Structure 1
């Protein structure tokens, strides 16, 4: 039984990691196509990627949109979760359901709805429009994670701070935020990751200033290339570094 468990674990990890491993390996392909066999090892494609101005601009755009939209969704989700956890109002369950509902809607439907709405109010397809779209899809996630982390202990501490004369801003900033730091960090980086990787909304709501997934899609239209593998490998490396840094600092500290 133990051997079967290990075999299942190895098979599951292989199923998940094998595509990533192939992506990284053939990003070093010394040839025009990222397919077996591996003809040789070269850093040529990484050099081309890092010197590609359009790709670097798309990278900066993705970082900017992901950071701003994730931070906005986190703040709004934190405030909503704090308010609904503090006071039980008639219809609170409906309010929570309305906040979480966008998680059940297809990104394509969200993008089309936003595209029509922005057209009515005069907002043109841009990074701003994309950022708003990412807030829409990430706000429910930030709210759900934060609300789930607010237990009776947190509620008692927040109530005690108010009874001692702290203003609402002070309660949220100096008491609630530090107590919920691991949950807030998890919500922020999940929202950042989802925004960083998101394609459909970014594709429909941008025109000239595009994000990295849209630029990669444009590269794929001309066919497979080790350059696209190099871009994917760099994105994976950045995500891995962030994950390891969080695990070694914030999350490990919060578990003590």
Structure 2
């Protein structure tokens, strides 16, 4: 079994953008979420996108007028993001978002952490420490937009399989195996080469993070909840750093 970073670098990164679907649609959905939350530049105009991937959040933020720093461990995804950037105020940096050294210098007015980024961390303790880093780094009034998939609805020992994306010559599917605190994720990819189906697979773990714990860690780190919702299985939060 691989770490999330190894899984992305050896298996998923080259398929990721295709797997998640139409980029314009995904970016439009992110833009609408930011609009509904009233997110726009108000201070130093700096926004950090943690676990930026191929830029689903980064591009809408840049179009809103933010100076965006897109951070991710995957150099492949960051290179793809950079190749799609045309004239926007957007930079990329390959970085570990749990590293304390990252949180130095001028802090952003907006921190964004969406998708599966949090669930890729090693443990709940790691997530709690990260909240504390964010709380000590961000200034009063800074906002923090968080989105992740709460996998706590499955039963221990249960296995669930489903297609993620299907085309005539490509099929991406997934099996979730539920454990006590984690879910074993097995991704399966079939591709038709004109003569036969080629098959590859890779497995890694995601954390189960109950919403109650997210709210608890945010509160103890100095954040107040401003917005909360759910969309397509993703739990969504907007926090503000207390004074």
TM over 0.5: no
Q: Return the TM-score normalized by structure 1.
A: 0.27
Higher share in strand: 2
Larger Rg: 1
Higher relative contact order, structure no. (Cα contacts within 8 Å, ≥ 6 residues apart): 1
Higher share in helix: 1
Q: Return the TM-score normalized by structure 2.
A: 0.27
